[in-house]
Chain A
Amino acid sequence: MRPFVIGLLMGLFAVLAMAVVMKWRQRNLPMSATEKAEYLGKRRARMLPLLAVIFLSQQATFFSTLNSQSPHSAYGPKIAAWLALSIVLLFALSTKGFWFERKEVRDLLDDENTRANRSEGMRWGFLFAMAAAIGVYALTLFDTTVTARDAVHIVMTIGIAAALIRWGMLERRAHRDA
C-alpha cells in the first residue's frame, strides 16, 4: 500500500478513535439536551485553540524536514495526515460539528451566537489565508522557490488555524460568566 494512503487512513483512524473516546467519557452522564449542549459547548471552547496548536505544531515538524534529505516514503504519510486533519477541521468549521450527537443537541450547539462566532472565525480564516497567499507570492519575488503544493499547504494551514483560534477565543469569551 502506498505511504500516502497509509497516512490518510491513520489520520482518519485517529479522528475516529478520538470520537469514540469522547463518547465513552460521556457514557455515565445523565443529561438533558440543554445540559449536554452546555457541557459540550464549553469543551469545544477549550478544545478549539488546542486543536489549532496541535495542527500548527504538526506543520512545524513537516516544514522543518521539507528541504532536508528526508526519504520520500516519510513525506507521503505526513502530507496525508495533514490532508486528513485539514479536511476534518474544515468540516468542523463549516458544519454544526458533533456529528455523533443527536439532532436536538447538535441544533443547540449551533445556536445563533455560535453561528455568529463561527462566521467571524471563518472571516478571520479567509483574511489570514489571503495574507499568507500574499506573503508566499512576495517570497517568490526574492528568488525563493516555493512549489505549488507547499504554497497550498501554507495558505491552508494558516487559514484553518486562524479560523480555529478566533472561533475558540469568541466561544471562550461567550462562556465567561455564563
Chain B
Amino acid sequence: MEKQKVDFNAITGIVVILLGIIYTIMSYSLPKAAIGNEMDPLYFPLGLGILLTVIGLILFLKSDKAAIKVALNSMMTKSPKDKEVTRMVVLTCIAAVLYGLLFEHLGFIIATFGFMMSILFITNGKKYVVNTAVAIIFSVSIFAIFNYALGIPLPGLPFL
C-alpha cells in the first residue's frame, strides 16, 4: 500500500522539462525547407517542444518537492516482488531484441519457437512439456494462418 503514496510528480516534471528542451533544440536544428517558407516544417514541432517544456514546468512547480527524496528512495529500495517483476520485464525485452535480430536469419517458425520458449520459461518456469507444446503449436499455426490463409508472407525456414 505504501507504494501508492510515492509521489513521482516532481521527478516526472523534471524529466518532461528536459524532454521538451531537447525536442525544441532538435526541432530548431532541423534542416530548412528548400521550397516555400524555409521555417515551415519547423513551426509545429517548435510549438510542441515549447508547450511541453511549459507544462513540465507547471507540473514541477505544483508538485511536492519533498517527495523527490522519497520517490528516489523507493526506486532504489525495492521489495523482492518488485525485483522479480523488473527482472521479468528486462528478460522479456532482451528476448524480444534477440528475436528481432534472429528473425530474418532463422525464419519465422524457428525464431518464434525460440522466443516463445524463452517467454514461457520466464512466466511458466520449467514445465518443458507444456512450454514446448505451446511454442510449437503457436509458431506453426500462426505461420500457416498468415502465409496461406491471409497471404501475408512471413520469412519461412532457412536453407529452403
A, B in one complex: no
- Residues of B whose CB lies within 8 Å of any CB of A are none
